[in-house]
Chains A and B, each alone.
Chain A
Amino acid sequence: MSLRDRLTSGSFAVTAEISPPRGASTDPIAETAALLRDWVDAVNVTDNQGSNVRLASWAGSLAALQAGLEPVMQMTCRDRNRIALQSDLLGASALGIRNVLVMTGDHPKFGDHPEAKPVFDLDSVQLLWTLRHMRDQGAVLSGRPLKPPPDCFLGAVENPFAPPAQFRAERLGKKVDAGAQFVQTQFVFDVAAFQDWMAQVRDLGLHQKCYILAGVGAVRSRNALDFMRDKVPGVTVPDDVYRRLRAVPPDQTGAEGARLAAEIIQQLRAIDGVAGVHLLVAGNEQAVPGILEEAGVTAGRTDHGR
């Protein structure tokens, strides 16, 4: 079942994030796809995440597709202008990549080429709008026709926890107006704060116009916990979560992190308007089956006979 069909059917969807290798081989993606394809509906292939050079997200998406796992190709506005972005959408669609997730992208300052020119020719709202225009109007921004137009299922991201808090649901509304059909959120560690945001989302009726997949992370180690709390832009780790993960011996942080992720998935699933979860586990993909089993969520290729 495709991600779009899963969401349309109303059953709980699961996506996971993988990062392409830093190297000229897609073998690691094929291996990860083999691990995940029975468990998740689709896998996000990141676009030079954290502004670090990696294999192109379209190539990683194609590799996942060929390995039997539906990709969500991530596209950031950081590295390409409107000409390159439109061209890449056509290429992806022609290769069978249907899901596209649009985001602003991290600033180059945070990556391995801080001296690079930040492009940001379009912002994420404008890029969503552009891609929808290409699909629905069959034309590029200049007005020139596309034969045939691309077929795509458009996604956006949102961070429910970043200021200005009163504007975050409205900002999602702008993205929905611009063309977003699904949204994946930043890590949810603070379920109460997420519920506040979801209440605003429901007040605006956005959960009926766009499928909302809540981001869930699985903390692997104490170092990862500290990095996530202090270094990742836009992520908040509440004190009680931090204390809980620090309370276990260091060699059990990963197991406790996975338990916490499963609990959060169960809580999110109970929230009205949440259509699924997005597992932000890049580099820790082997934890996915355990987390989903503990959370009692089935998705992916087989649904495990249940």
Chain B
Amino acid sequence: MTTRPPIPAHPRLGTCLAYQLQRALRPRPSLRWLSARIQASGLAHPLFTKTERLTKDTLFGCRMCGQCALPVTGYVCPMGCPKELRNGPCGGVGADGSCEVYPDMRCVWVEAYERAAGQGRAADLQLLHLPIDHRRWGQSSWLNYWQGRDEELWTDKVGDTGDNVPHRLPVLGGS
């Protein structure tokens, strides 16, 4: 578990570049193979996780929840929201777009909407994010993403039947 409380962070990576990187690094067999090798290695796995932590902390204020929402939030981290809201802003956003808890900071969801809409990706914010798995804190979400274990983080398949709640996210061991 992280010890740092959630505080809104302004991303240091431009949205256009972020989406280009998203396309370049989308899951494919070679990355799946590579990430499985990294995960299996006692030396490379912690090094890789540490690198991810440093990179994403610098760029996005990442707190390593291990289930990254950035690809569908305009690359603004929702876990920086003091309420850790993953489905959009609360009702307390200031008229100027400020966070109600940290009035000097902008609401992460106001910024997420602006950044996503600016790249024609506003529809991303309509996706429903499922409850997170708190056992995943501290894990590498890049390894999870490339190995297809992040596929149930959000969905657009919500009808009136209510039958689409995955009961549990898959258990992810350290190996």
Contact = CB atoms under 8 A, between A and B. Distances in A.
A195 interface: no
Given A125-B88, A142-B168, A136 B162 contact: yes
Contact of A162 (B87, B93, B117): B93
A17 to B, nearest CB: 15
Interface size, A (range): 35 or more
A78 B100 CA distance: 15
Contact of A171 (B88, B100, B101, B122): B88
A260 B150 CA distance: 51
Contacts of A106: 92
Interface in A150-207: 157-159, 161-164, 166-167, 170-171, 173-174, 177-179, 186
B113 interface: yes
A166 B88 CA distance: 12
Given A107-B100, A120-B83, A132-B162, A164 B89 contact: yes
B113 A164 contact: yes
Q: Which of B83, B90, B93, B113: most chain A Cβ within 10 A? A: B90
Nearest to B98: A163
Q: Which of B83, B122, B163: most chain A Cβ within 10 A? A: B83
A234 B110 CA distance: 14
Interface in B65-113: 82-97, 100-101, 107, 109-110, 113
A107 B88 CA distance: 16
Grouping DSSP codes into helix (H, G, I), strand (E, B) and loop, the B interface class, with mixed when no group exceeds half, is loop
Given A132-B162, A173-B126, A125 B113 contact: no
Contacts, number: 130
Contacts of A125: 87-88, 128-129
B109 to A, nearest CB: 7
A141 B165 contact: yes
B138 interface: no
Given A123-B85, A163-B97, A129 B92 contact: no
A143 interface: yes
B87 A233 contact: no
Given A106-B92, A125-B88, A164 B131 contact: no
B22 to A, nearest CB: 21
Contacts of B165: 129-130, 133, 137, 141
A294 interface: no
A82 interface: yes
A178 B163 CA distance: 11
Q: Which of B85, B92, B113, B161: most chain A Cβ within 10 A? A: B92
23 contacts: A106-B92, A109-B101, A120-B84, A121-B134, A123-B85, A123-B129, A126-B129, A126-B130, A129-B128, A130-B165, A136-B162, A159-B93, A170-B125, A170-B126, A171-B88, A173-B126, A174-B126, A178-B158, A179-B162, A234-B90, A234-B92, A234-B93, A236-B95
Interface of B: 82-97, 100-101, 107, 109-110, 113-114, 117, 122, 125-126, 128-131, 134, 158, 161-163, 165, 167-168
**Cβ-closest 4 pairs across A and B:** A233-B92, A159-B91, A125-B87, A136-B162
Given A136-B163, A174-B87, 5 more contacts: A107-B92, A141-B131, A143-B167, A234-B93, A236-B95
Interface of A: 77-78, 82, 103-107, 109, 118, 120-126, 129-130, 132-133, 135-137, 139, 141-143, 157-159, 161-164, 166-167, 170-171, 173-174, 177-179, 186, 233-234, 236
